[in-house]
Amino acid sequence: MNQMRDEPVRAAPSPMRDASAQPPGLARRMRPVALVCAGAIAGVLVSLGISAVAQKDSRSPLQALPLEELRQFADVFGAIKGNYVETVEDKKLIKEAISGMLSGLDPHSAFLDAKAFKEMQLNTSGQFGGIGIEIGVEDGFIKVISPIEDTPAERAGIRAADLIVKIGDRPAKGISTTEAVELMRGKPGTSLTITVSRKGEPTPRVFTLERAVIKVQSVRSSMVEPGFAYARITQFQEQTVPSLAKHLSQLASQGPIKGLVLDLRNDPGGLLQGALGVSAAFLPPKVLVTSTDGRNADARRRYNADPQDYSRQGDDPIGQLPAIYKTVPMVVLVNAGSASASEIVAGALQDHKRATILGTQTFGKGSVQTILPLSSTTAIKLTTARYYTPSGRSIQAKGITPDILVDEYPDGDLSHLRVREADLKGHLGDQVKPGADPANQGDQAGRDRKAGDEASQTERQKSLTAEQINERLRNRKPVVFGSGEDWQLQQALNHLKGRPVAKPVSTQTAAASRPDRTVD
């Protein structure tokens, strides 16, 4: 709150001094420090041209700066420097201020110091040392979004939606995801103990894991049945497109393909180029895959199934694929762990009616983060735009609604235990793309109805007691994607073969009472 400076407020004398009140004369001593800080901060911002870039203001940079707020910031800065119980370095205060500015915007904007910047580069390269989990934050706790396949975390039994309450001896409440990653990663062969709280269980679980070199295999594939191919993408990385092309070519060499299942479940996303290339493998050349819209002209872009958009090296591995992949009947599997690049692919194939989307509602991460370097080792990750499907549907905080809703298990789903974008504090809302034509948005009414079905299903799930949830979790083994016991995969194969697909358990009664509700 800004202080009123035009009229001083006078308090009546009191024999007792509030412990938080300023000592006599402190304000006078701080004023020169505050003014110097305000001038220094203003000078830095002017030199960087932040106001001119961010606000596109026609005034001079100095005039565009919020000087009153900067004075308030300088007052706080000076108070800390002069009165905090321990000496604090200027560098730390400025770094924390920058981090606070960015983290207060939305869950995905962040300051990347040297360590965080390096971690981001390791993530996109697909190899690092650690235990193998994707994490987020919920109510101040570190939450497991999903364990990475064939890693120490998955083998030990860590599950999606587990809350990490301790990493080693350090409590995990209140720490950032960057700090959590730093604590969990380390030299392969060293041990790490983490304590997790699991929904429905009264006591935490303690896991002792041995760190390993985590090599995220971006693509794997198999012929699950004669004539029916299966390809799974775990994360969109630099090598995802050429790797997918290689796998698809190998599948085609094994004989005629009658149907293809593309599995994007628990795929947290990754590089945009990967999503564009994967979409291009199945769509006609140069059709629209996704578009972005933001405040600035360079944030308003259209991305097509074109090598110029998805290939950085100038080659085109997708161009050499057998022609069958442009027409073969296709199902895309998604769930609450399918996010970002996964949702771009699913939305593009759905809008172009190239594939049937099957599973549960996706995560809903439809915002664009741009890396803006501050130096050779630091940067900021700033949300600059929203993603839209080819028909103009917003992905942000909504996700992709499957054409066919199918639970992860035959006895029902517990998707309300999974965190989605809309559950994150400070998330951006969805926004209709300017100029979008409602007539070109596909069967939106049908999709909204399916989304309502899942919402109704979730409400029923929430009525389960902790003991009922615990009982279900005790009796369930984690899904091994692509295996013979993969329920959603079996329903995808049924759809490709023209057989009935199982309805979600908790919506069967509602579906039976509605004659217009069909599941094919």
Strand-pair partners of 372: 380
Q: Running DSSP on this structure, what letter comes out for residue 270?
A: B
Q: In this predicted structure, which of 194-203, 244-253, 273-282, 474-483 has the lowest mean pLDDT?
A: 474-483
| 430 Cβ neighbours under 8 A, 6+ residues apart | 366, 386, 394, 395, 396, 397, 398
Average pLDDT, the chain: 81
In three-state form (DSSP H/G/I as H, E/B as E, the rest C), the secondary structure along 356-415 is EEEECCCCCCCEEEEEEECCCCCEEEEEEEEEECCCCCECCCCCCCCCEECCCCCCCCCH
Give me the mean pLDDT over the 104-131 stretch: 81
What tokens does 379 get?
């940067």
What distances in angstroms separate CA 414 from CA 229, 381, 411, 425, 469, one per listed residue? Answer: 28, 33, 10, 22, 8
Asked whether residue 447 carries a pLDDT value surpassing 60, the answer given is no
Q: Report the b/e string of 450-488 with b at 16+ CB within 10 A.
A: bbebbeebbebbeebeeeebbebbeeeeebebbeeebbb
In three-state form (DSSP H/G/I as H, E/B as E, the rest C), the secondary structure along 120-165 is HHHHHHCEEEECCEEEEEECCEEEEEEECCCCHHHHHCCCCCCEEE
Residue 222 sits at the vertex; the CA angle it makes with 221 and 223, to the nearest 5 degrees, is 145
Three-state DSSP state, 261: strand
Asked whether residue 511 carries a pLDDT value surpassing 90, the answer given is no
| 54 Cβ neighbours under 8 A, 6+ residues apart | none
Asked whether residue 97 carries a pLDDT value surpassing 80, the answer given is yes
- Whether 154 and 132 have beta carbons less than 8 Å apart is answered as yes
Asked whether residue 446 carries a pLDDT value surpassing 90, the answer given is no
Q: Running DSSP on this structure, what letter comes out for residue 306?
A: S
Catalytic pick among 143, 365, 381, 398? 365
Three-state DSSP state, 69: helix
Catalytic pick among 221, 291, 311, 340? 340
- Whether 388 and 394 have beta carbons less than 8 Å apart is answered as yes
Integer Cα distance of 422 and 399 in angstroms: 9
pLDDT score recorded for residue 5:
29
pLDDT score recorded for residue 33:
47
Catalytic pick among 263, 351, 407, 453? 351
Query: In angstroms, what is the C-alpha Rg of the chain?
Result: 26
pLDDT score recorded for residue 478:
73
Q: How many CB atoms lie within 10 A of CB 24?
A: 8
Integer Cα distance of 107 and 363 in angstroms: 14
Strand-pair partners of 143: 136, 163
pLDDT tens per residue, range 310-359 = 997 778 999 999 999 999 999 999 999 999 999 999 999 999 999 999 99
In this prediction, residue 411 has a pLDDT band, given cuts at 50, 70 and 90, of: confident
What distances in angstroms separate CA 461 from CA 70, 146, 284, 466, one per listed residue? Answer: 49, 20, 41, 11
Asked whether residue 229 carries a pLDDT value surpassing 50, the answer given is yes
Residue 451 sits at the vertex; the CA angle it makes with 446 and 452, to the nearest 5 degrees, is 95
Give the range with max mean pLDDT: 6-15, 356-365, 434-443.
356-365
Check residues 81 and 23 and name the one with the higher pLDDT: 81
- Whether 185 and 506 have beta carbons less than 8 Å apart is answered as no
- Whether 455 and 410 have beta carbons less than 8 Å apart is answered as no
pLDDT tens per residue, range 486-502 = 999 999 999 999 999 99
249 is catalytic: no
Q: What are phi and psi of 155, to 5 degrees?
A: -65, -30
pLDDT score recorded for residue 27:
43
- Reported as type and span, the H/E element at residue 170 is strand 170-171
Give me the mean pLDDT over the 227-254 stretch: 96
Integer Cα distance of 263 and 460 in angstroms: 27
Asked whether residue 394 carries a pLDDT value surpassing 90, the answer given is yes
Integer Cα distance of 461 and 476 in angstroms: 16
340 is catalytic: yes
Q: How many CB atoms lie within 10 A of CB 310?
A: 25
Give me the mean pLDDT over the 238-250 stretch: 95
197 is catalytic: no
Q: Is 338 left (phi over 0), alpha (psi -120 to 50) or beta?
A: beta
What tokens does 39 get?
């001038």
In three-state form (DSSP H/G/I as H, E/B as E, the rest C), the secondary structure along 28-46 is HHHHHHHHHHHHHHHHHHH
pLDDT tens per residue, range 152-208 = 999 999 998 899 999 999 999 988 887 898 899 888 899 999 999 998 888 999 999
Closest CA to 148 of 237, 62, 87: 237
